A and B are shown apart, each in its own frame.
Chain A
Amino acid sequence: MSDNTLNARQTIDAAKRNFLKAGAKATAAIAVVTLAPGVTLYSVGAKAAVTGPATSERRWGMLIDATAPGDIWDIAVDACKAEQGWGGGNNPATDPQWIRKVSVKDPKTGAKATLPVMCQHCENPPCVDVCPTGASMKRADGIVLVDKHICIGCRYCMMACPYSCRSFVHEDVTGQKPHMPRGKGTVESCTLCVHRIDKGQLPACVEAVTNAGSDAMLFGDLNDPNSDISRAVSQYVTQRIRQDLGVEPSVHYRGI
């Protein structure tokens, strides 16, 4: 990164910070580290580095191989539960399910497949369109999230989602993970482990499946032509669930 760009970026960031800071002291040495293409760390003095903002340069996506044996998806679901702190209730109708294993069977031929279904992080998300307060939102890099600070719990997004991937928190929640605040009366869904992605890690489900030695879940930047997922998606014709609706999910499937 050239010095000119560095100074320009630093000026913009500093201007942002100065809005909040009154009487900021001049910062000391600035070290620049590039974590991954487009994710840059600025270390200012001894403080924690500032990352972000998310930009539309990237479009995070997943490629899921539905021909993998079904029990690998249990690993994915359990990993999500452990990472995000849901699961463990005794009422399947009202307990949240951020990711679930779906079994598909062709009634005429008997052919079967299993695949995980979670928030599809659509490009034209119907849930974002219908939210009255704007709590259901799409981040610049394509991740669809619920801003639980302004969610009023009307559940209109749950009506609108074609994948029924959102859950309403029906009871008091305790023991939340510090990185994943969750509370009664708001709507939640798969965040694509945004807290891990922003640190350069993989989503928990993908990492667990990969650690188990399987390549059934692939995660990456769909906008980067050199990423594994982009190459896989160009190599094979992939399907997306309910593609006919035109919502453009970012979760691709193979072998449905």
Chain B
Amino acid sequence: MALDTTVYKEIEGKGADYYALVGWLAVFAAAGLGASYYMEHHGHVVTGMTNAIVWGTPHVFAVFLIVAASGVLNVSSISSVFSKHHYKPMARLSALTALALLAGGLMVLVLDLGRPDRLIVAMTKYNFKSIFAWNIYLYTGFFVIVLIYLWMMMERRFAPHSKKAGLLAFVWRLALTTGTGSIFGFLVARPGYDAAIMAPMFIAMSFAFGLAIFILLITVTYRASNRPLGDLILFKMRNLLGVFIAAVLYFTAAMHLTNLYAAEHMGVERFILMDGGIYTFLFWVVQIGIGGIFPLALLFNPATGRTCQGISIASMMVIVGGIAQLYVIIVGGQAFPLQLFPGMEVSSSFFDGQMHGYAPSLPEVVLGLSGIATALLIVAVAVKYLPLLPTSLSDANIRISRSLDHIEDEPFN
């Protein structure tokens, strides 16, 4: 029988701080609903999105949340699938956060549709050649599977089966992230996409963003609820985050270096890396610098990497860099004009041949932020009413759970 002696307990959730947090999150979530109503009522003309830049800020946030959702599940996967029992106590929170982030991301995506009233149509009529249609099944399946997984982890008599559910959840989230990356990877029309490397790059991104969000969540929640958080588990997550950031940098480098080699892609590469104005700035300064190199330096410098503050700041930077990365991919990839006649100068009344302008509008930003707010609201309410958080993540507790779980693995007990 599982000798998991971790004590899980709901947080108090009665202080003014908690109510203020929940209140503000609810306000932001509601503001998103209002923004969506405004956009739907007046039409997308009130946004910054145009016929040239058809996916904007809401999609950046939505894809970020969806990608992070699959990544956040990593922590429970590591404990269930890869049997690294240090992470076991955090598995419940990881699964719940995955559900919350996916809900937030999907909310933004659906509310931005031109006809959100036709959601039922989207859920009943499918064109299975479209990766979007597959994604609908992947997302809803993710909800079901992770819910079952979470329930099995919480219901003691099912705990032995949670490993199988964890494996299924792990495979499913790989499929889901591949599907999300393939939304862009399958597009032949645009030189900034159309790359098979999009799928594995998104998987690496999901690892990094998800873990960064999880680290922030753990540090903030444990400090706010006065529960001990030991260095052992924190440093383990720090090392993992460093590896994931490096993986994202690797895939980014591989994609751009390969593109640079082909004369065909020189135009879009020059655009992103040199001439693209805001997109070039976001790529080098925010995505690579703030999202990659600077956090790596913070994490592995002994002076900063061994402090909770240093790790938290690095995590925040990864998140900011991640949003910038998606902005460069999604919006930058559309800003570069389609090459109707490669090598020729083209102009028309439909802005052919020119870099397409885009400025995020207030309704879009509010909608995007409301996705984050909704996700955090779900987590905040869930930790108050469900026993998801261990009472202690101190080093001693982690070592005990590790050693006892080790006994469970022995064939003859």
Contact = CB atoms under 8 A, between A and B. Distances in A.
Interface of A: 91-97, 100-107, 117, 126, 128-134, 150-156, 158-164, 166-172, 184-187, 241-242, 245, 247, 256
Interface stretch (B85-93, B123-131, B156-164): B123-131
A223 B352 CA distance: 32
Nearest to B264: A244
B352 A164 contact: yes
A160 B54 CA distance: 11
Ordered nearest first, which 8 A-B pairs have the shortest CB separation? A153-B114, A185-B114, A132-B132, A162-B189, A134-B127, A170-B45, A93-B50, A155-B54
B258 interface: no
Nearest to B109: A154
A241 B339 CA distance: 10
A254 B52 CA distance: 27
Contacts of B132: 130-132, 154, 156
Contacts of A152: 113-116, 118-119, 121-122
Contact of A132 (B133, B345, B357): B133
A12 B130 CA distance: 33
Contacts of A103: 346-348
A133 B45 contact: no
B338 A164 contact: yes
Given A150-B125, A152-B121, A245 B187 contact: no
Contacts of B334: 159
A185 B341 contact: no
B350 interface: yes
Contacts of A91: 45
Contacts of A101: 348-349
A184 B41 CA distance: 9
Interface in B126-144: 126-127, 129-133, 136
Interface residues of B, number: 49
A96 B340 CA distance: 19
Given A154-B114, A159-B187, A245-B188, 19 more contacts: A93-B52, A94-B51, A96-B51, A100-B352, A117-B352, A130-B129, A130-B131, A130-B187, A131-B127, A155-B55, A156-B130, A156-B183, A158-B54, A159-B190, A166-B51, A171-B43, A241-B340, A241-B341, A242-B340
Question: Taking chain B's interface residues, is the majority helix, strand, or loop, or is none over half, making it mixed?
Answer: loop
A44 B27 CA distance: 63
A119 B44 CA distance: 23
A106 B115 contact: no
Contacts of A256: 341
A129 B129 contact: yes
A117 B54 contact: no
B348 A117 contact: yes
A133 B115 contact: no
Interface in B30-81: 40, 42-45, 50-52, 54-55
Interface of B: 40, 42-45, 50-52, 54-55, 113-116, 118-119, 121-122, 125-127, 129-133, 136, 183, 186-190, 334, 338-341, 343-352, 357
B43 A185 contact: yes
Contacts of B116: 152
Nearest to A187: B114
A107 B346 CA distance: 10
B191 to A, nearest CB: 10
A170 B125 contact: no
B13 to A, nearest CB: 38
B314 to A, nearest CB: 33
B184 to A, nearest CB: 8
B340 A117 contact: yes
A63 B114 CA distance: 34
A153 B52 CA distance: 15
Nearest to B339: A242
A69 B40 CA distance: 42
Contacts of B50: 93-94, 170
A100 B43 contact: no
A113 to B, nearest CB: 9
Contacts of B122: 132-133, 152, 154
A96 B350 CA distance: 9
A151 B118 CA distance: 8
Contacts of A163: 338, 340
Given A162-B189, A185-B115, A97 B349 contact: yes
A187 B115 CA distance: 10
B136 A132 contact: yes
Contact of B350 (A100, A107, A126, A155): A100
Contacts of A96: 51
A134 B126 CA distance: 6
B363 to A, nearest CB: 13
Q: Which of A131, A132, A168 has the most CB of B within 10 A?
A: A132
16 contacts: A94-B50, A102-B347, A105-B345, A105-B347, A107-B344, A117-B340, A126-B189, A129-B129, A131-B127, A133-B121, A133-B133, A150-B125, A152-B122, A163-B338, A164-B338, A168-B44
A185 B40 CA distance: 8
Contacts of B187: 126, 130, 159-160
Nearest to B189: A162
A56 B114 CA distance: 32
Contact of A159 (B55, B339, B345, B349): B55
Contacts of B351: 92-93
Q: Which of A128, A154, A168 has the most CB of B within 10 A?
A: A154
B127 A153 contact: no
A106 B353 CA distance: 13
